[in-house]
Structure 1
């Protein structure tokens, strides 16, 4: 499918993953209608307006997750909607208000609007591995993880994993609504996303690298699974461009140790020493068997983890975060 002439909407367009989706869509010739909470906030929009093709084919709209109907203007006339807008935070004082309501009600708000716009062929929702990795009973080290795995809300509530709960409930609500309303829905489930930043602000996952370098966090996990933001963005676009795309897509990398990460960091910071840090409890399990054949079937070839780490650090240096 060629993007020229096709119009698509990206919600939460100023975010980390969404900015890359917008960039890729513009490069592929799409006309993009991007929603942000405040189109007049230059800090949130300047990096989008500076993208190649933005002058000709990018238009900004105001979109608020909890305001019913606020996405109608942006979605009108679109062939596809990429819904990425959702709060990202691992801590919350009022989880229902800060995380769960915006994630669940915001997703339903966007999907309801899509039912009113006959031009929309497909909706691609950004979920997370958070909605995959916390089933009951919990995952064991030799369990296999694929698109059939779903997190259990009760497990999240019991451990007060509010962000994970918000992603789990939002995806569940999306599937139910799509089925009831005959929406062609595809859901992307990325893991821990790193890679270069387009936006001027520091996002939660890139901040992990900043904390490692600045030694601000003495408790760090010894093992990770990383995926490149550029691969995640490409998977989203391919999910629209591939007519046979359907269901969920896990986008996740191989296990990486803190020693692997330190090796790359040392290229830029020779005096850095991470080995004496204390081991944190593994919030997200990593020792499971992973199947990513489905997303590879869309034509996504994963960027090597070392390149992702190197490009993340270069980007953080350019933006003066480290």
Structure 2
């Protein structure tokens, strides 16, 4: 076993994955970043330009749809951070076929876990899950959502709410992953971020950047998005990635961990951004929405109780959105 701290990050060119790579490199880890096409300069250029990348980063071709695709990248790693997920499911609200769900998230995560079993070097498997796996309840809790809650998939199929296919896929995948971990002796922890906001490493936009900038851009293509973002929880991408590393390194980490710091409604975000950008006429009124809804928070008590400290908890959600807006402006995305 080498003395090098070697880890694998799946979905490394994505919004969370790329920031996680950045933070791991800063901590001296040797990172094997998996992407579908290492030759796609647009997606990997920013990764290769990160501090320490020339000596501590390597790119590996892998795909969630291909069995054993991750074997080589995982072999010799002490840790695997599985961040990759089919984000296109967020935008597809038509009825989902079971085969589609299994072929994307479920079979993908099990394939990676089988690679971990083959490697015999992986000490901990960290999976980026979602509070979406927790919050869909027929009878929501009175005070807060915790790691004990699981989303009701029958309710998702019944309501077909925004991103319901994503929730079904992620929840099904997580349950399958826990079953595999228990049966095969994999030390797994799951991180459950709420809506992730903040700047990025990669040059392309994501659902998170669209969510953060939609009131600023008043994008007609996303005209319904503000209403979908009403009454939600949020967290800074930097806190999410630091939580991943913290849970990988902490010897007592076990089970599921919610990672969320803010609760908000879209009216508050609108007023905050209007103050920051008075020349943009940011909308502050949204027809048909309750201005003072009861928002049930996603509790990060378990994560905080283990000793994790959120660096961005004192910012308001408008600050997090503004950070994303400024990053997009610098990158020429707005």
The reply to whether TM is greater than 0.5 is yes
Following the alignment from structure 2 to structure 1, what is the Cα–Cα distance between the partners of residues 82 and 13? 12
Task: Show the counterpart of 1:144.
Answer: 144
Shift of 1:268: 4.3
Task: Show the counterpart of 1:131.
Answer: 133
Task: Show the counterpart of 1:273.
Answer: 282
Task: Show the counterpart of 2:36.
Answer: 37
Shift of 1:239: 0.8
Q: From the superposition, tell whether residues 281 and 162 of structure 1 become closer, same or farther in structure 2 (CA, over 3 Å).
A: farther
Following the alignment from structure 1 to structure 2, what is the Cα–Cα distance between the partners of residues 102 and 251? 24
Higher alpha-carbon deviation: 29-38 or 221-230: 221-230
Shift of 1:289: 4.4
Larger helix percent: 2
Task: Show the counterpart of 1:102.
Answer: 104
Does the alignment pair 1:181 with 2:184? yes
What secondary structure is seen at the aligned counterpart in 2 of 1:305?
Answer: coil
Q: From the superposition, tell whether residues 236 and 298 of structure 1 become closer, same or farther in structure 2 (CA, over 3 Å).
A: farther
TM-score for both structures, normalised by structure 1: 0.91
Does the alignment pair 1:256 with 2:264? yes
Shift of 1:267: 4.4
Does the alignment pair 1:212 with 2:215? yes
Following the alignment from structure 2 to structure 1, what is the Cα–Cα distance between the partners of residues 159 and 168? 10
Does the alignment pair 1:313 with 2:325? yes
Following the alignment from structure 2 to structure 1, what is the Cα–Cα distance between the partners of residues 289 and 212? 15
TM-score for both structures, normalised by structure 2: 0.88
The answer (yes or no) to whether the contact 2:197–2:212 under 8 Å persists in 1 is no
- RMSD of equivalent CA atoms: 2.2
Task: Show the counterpart of 2:199.
Answer: 196
Higher alpha-carbon deviation: 98-107 or 249-258: 98-107
The answer (yes or no) to whether the contact 2:215–2:282 under 8 Å persists in 1 is no
Following the alignment from structure 1 to structure 2, what is the Cα–Cα distance between the partners of residues 311 and 5? 34
What secondary structure is seen at the aligned counterpart in 2 of 1:169?
Answer: helix
Following the alignment from structure 1 to structure 2, what is the Cα–Cα distance between the partners of residues 286 and 113? 44
The answer (yes or no) to whether the contact 1:87–1:98 under 8 Å persists in 2 is no
| Deviations 1:15-62 (CA, angstroms, capped at 9, x unpaired) | 101111100000000000010000000111011101101000100001
Q: From the superposition, tell whether residues 148 and 314 of structure 1 become closer, same or farther in structure 2 (CA, over 3 Å).
A: same
Task: Show the counterpart of 1:10.
Answer: 9
Following the alignment from structure 1 to structure 2, what is the Cα–Cα distance between the partners of residues 56 and 286? 50
Question: Where in structure 2 are the equivalents of 1:21-32 lying within 5 Å?
Answer: 21-32=20-31
The answer (yes or no) to whether the contact 1:123–1:184 under 8 Å persists in 2 is yes
| Deviations 1:196-240 (CA, angstroms, capped at 9, x unpaired) | 021111100210232212223155244332100000000001111
Following the alignment from structure 1 to structure 2, what is the Cα–Cα distance between the partners of residues 42 and 153? 39
Match of 2:250 among 242, 250, 258: 242
Question: Which consecutive residues of structure 2, in runs of 5 or more, have no partner in the other structure?
Answer: none
Task: Show the counterpart of 2:241.
Answer: 233
The answer (yes or no) to whether the contact 1:11–1:35 under 8 Å persists in 2 is yes
What secondary structure is seen at the aligned counterpart in 2 of 1:90?
Answer: helix
| Deviations 1:83-133 (CA, angstroms, capped at 9, x unpaired) | 011111322257446655211110000001101111110000001001011
The answer (yes or no) to whether the contact 2:273–2:282 under 8 Å persists in 1 is no
Number of equivalent positions: 315
Higher alpha-carbon deviation: 308-317 or 66-75: 308-317
Question: Where in structure 2 are the equivalents of 1:88-99 lying within 5 Å?
Answer: 88=87, 89-92=89-92, 95-96=96-97
Q: From the superposition, tell whether residues 179 and 288 of structure 1 become closer, same or farther in structure 2 (CA, over 3 Å).
A: same
